[in-house]
Amino acid sequence: MATTKYSRQRELIYNTVIENQVHPTAEFVYKYLKKDNPQLSLGTVYRNLQQLSDNGAINRVSIPNQPDRFDGVIKPHYHAVCSKCGKIEDIFIEEMESIDSLVAEKTGLNIIGHEIVFKTICPLCKN
């Protein structure tokens, strides 16, 4: 049954994002699953990641000059990216969650969201 196959693949892809807390790219997910699932195509991985992020099961993380990453952590948080190796670190700062209303208050603009990525040099690259 096609339906069963598709939902099984989606589950595999979802679990890969949850288990690999590196904020994997579609490419990473594909390579990770390909060895045990030779029939899997990169297109299927892209499509399922798209659907999973559309329905809020995972988050899509846009990093400038990098392919999109995917994140199994749904709780609101920010990211710091190492400028040397590209490693992504999760940042949880509750005060920043009110940034939209702060900007709305200061500017009178109708703020619908924001994207912030912090740049860093990770401890490994620093040494």
Give the interface with Zn ion as residue ranges (CB under 5 A): 71, 73, 82, 84-85, 87, 90, 122, 125
Taking the complex as a whole, the smallest distance from the CB of residue 11 to Zn ion amounts, in Å, to: 21
Nearer to Zn ion, 45 or 72 (CB): 72
Q: Cβ closer to Zn ion: 34 or 87?
A: 87
- DSSP symbols for 62-127: --TTS--EEES--S--EEEEETTT--EEEE--GGGGGHHHHHHHHH---------EEEE--HHHH-
Closest CB to Zn ion among residues 99, 122: 122
Cβ neighbours of residue 109 under 8 Å, at least 6 residues apart? Answer: 103
Q: At closest approach, how far in Å is the CB of 96 from Zn ion?
A: 14
Q: Which is nearer to Zn ion, 12 or 117 (CB)?
A: 117
Cβ of 22: how many Cβ atoms within 10 Å?
Answer: 12
Cβ of residue 73: shortest distance to Zn ion, in angstroms?
5
Q: Which of 97, 27, 118 is nearest to 69 (CA)?
A: 27
**Alpha carbons 73 and 102: distance in angstroms, whole number:** 25
Question: Residue 109 Cβ, how far from Zn ion at the closest point, in Å?
Answer: 27
